[in-house]
């Protein structure tokens, strides 16, 4: 795309700022959405009861299944006269207790993918969310949990030099 081109989806007059950056609003929406992963909401698991951002310690058996979220690899995709298109990776690690069947782990992964697919714009805050990466088996050091890591790519647009809209 050429410099100075205004992306079709960017409407600064429609943006709402509550004093937090658009990225912060998207991160909040992601955490809130993942917390809805419960059997009472029609999911296979209740991993939404244990959602954490950037968890830095081992999971206890009573906390499983659980989900760790990380946003990383932030970059600018395009810069236009009035808008900037940003991108970041949303890394989701979904863990189950050791001894859980492989079908139980697949059900948790299905819950994660379904959760993201409910609304790939995160309530109209983001432009798109894609599923580029493959699942990777992960195991916790103390062998109490194992799971999968799935990466999604989230794109959003702000005003140029305006992270709030």
pLDDT one-digit tens code per residue, 54-96: 988 888 888 999 999 999 999 999 999 999 999 999 999 999 8
Residues paired with residue 146 on neighbouring β-strands, in sequence order? 96, 139
Overall average pLDDT of the 17-36 stretch: 88
Angle of the 22-34 helix axis to the 102-117 helix axis, nearest 10: 140
**Long-range contact list for 100-105, CB < 8 A, 24+ apart?**
100/64, 100/65, 100/146, 104/45, 105/146, 105/147, 105/148
Taking the model in full, what pTM does it have? 0.84
Instruction: Give the pLDDT score at 37.
Output: 97
> How far is 123 from 35, CA to CA, in rounded Å?
15
Q: Dump pLDDT digits (tens) for 111-131.
A: 999 999 999 999 999 999 999
Band (pLDDT 50/70/90 cuts) for residue 18 is low
Whether the CB-CB separation of 128 and 155 falls below 8 Å is answered with yes
pLDDT band at 16 (very low <50, low <70, confident <90, very high): very low
Q: Round to whole Å and give the CA distance between 15 and 22.
A: 9
- Residue 149, pLDDT > 80, answer yes
Domain 19-159 top-level CATH class: alpha beta
pLDDT at residue 6, as a whole number: 41
> How far, in Å, CA of 90 to CA of 6, rounded?
26
What is the distance between the alpha carbons of residues 159 and 82, in angstroms, rounded to a whole number? Answer: 6
Query: Cα–Cα distances in Å, from 126 out to 40, 116, 132?
Result: 27, 12, 17
Which pair of tokens denotes residue 116?
A: 């993201």
Tokens of 43: 């999911």
Q: For the chain, give the mean pLDDT.
A: 85
β-pair type (83-97, 145-159): antiparallel
3-state secondary structure of 89: strand
């Amino acid at each position: 795309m050429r410099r100075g081109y205004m992306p079709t989806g960017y409407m600064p007059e429609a943006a709402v700022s509550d004093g937090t950056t658009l990225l912060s609003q998207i991160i909040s929406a992601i955490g809130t959405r993942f917390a809805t992963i419960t059997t009472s909401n029609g999911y296979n698991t209740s991993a939404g009861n244990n959602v954490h951002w950037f968890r830095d310690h081992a999971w206890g058996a009573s906390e499983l299944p659980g989900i760790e979220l990380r946003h990383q690899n932030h970059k600018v995709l395009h810069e236009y006269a009035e808008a900037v298109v940003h991108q970041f990776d949303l890394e989701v690690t979904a863990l189950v207790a050791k001894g859980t069947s492989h079908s139980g782990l697949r059900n948790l992964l299905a819950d994660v993918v379904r959760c993201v697919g409910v609304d790939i714009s995160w309530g109209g805050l983001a432009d798109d969310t894609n599923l580029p990466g493959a699942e990777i088996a992960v195991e916790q050091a103390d062998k109490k949990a194992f799971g999968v890591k799935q990466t999604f790519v989230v794109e959003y647009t702000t005003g140029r030099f305006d992270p709030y809209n």
